[in-house]
Amino acid sequence: MTRSSTALDRYMGLSDRAVHDEAALDEVLALFAVDTTIEIGTEPAHGSEAIAAIYRAHFAAHTETKHFWNTTVLDDGTLGAEWVCAACKTDGSLTTVAGVEHATLHAQGLISHLHNEFTRLPG
């Protein structure tokens, strides 16, 4: 499958590496504009520091993840990615989760708003 190279595709692809690679985590965080708001199953987080804290905690809770996704450009110009993930947590438990990410990009192509709707909750 050929992947497009939108910020949303890079975000999804880097997520698996970011679990155990600090440089990949930094690359994930660099995909967000300074004033981004994310809504990914937690209270909305706004700004670089809050977003970094959420992702650092999330990736630290896993030893391995594997995402699969399909990205589309929606009628309103935003990006949507239907995704699934299988993961191993640091406590040794296994989990699966799925959802649809919606991303708005600003003029420089960075994510300015990210919203996730879970279609399968972790478990």
Residue-wise pLDDT for 22-43, tens only, equals: 999 999 999 999 999 999 987 8
Percent of the chain with pLDDT strictly greater than 90: 89
Span 52-77, mean pLDDT?
A: 95
**Structure token digits, residue 33:** 């504009």
Please give the Cα distance from 39 to 108 (Å, whole number).
Answer: 21
More confident residue, 63 or 1: 63
Query: By percentage, how much of the chain surpasses pLDDT 70?
Result: 97
pLDDT at 1: 44
The pTM of this model reads 0.90
Whether the predicted pLDDT of 15 surpasses 80: yes
- Cβ pair 119, 100 in contact under 8 A: yes
What's the pLDDT score for residue 4? Answer: 63
In the chain, the domains with their CATH numbers are 7-120 (3.10.450.50)
Average pLDDT in the chain: 93
Spatial distance between the Cα atoms of 44 and 39, rounded to a whole number of angstroms? 5
Check if the beta carbon of residue 26 is closer than 8 Å to that of residue 48. no
Q: Return the residue matching tokens 């947590």.
A: 89
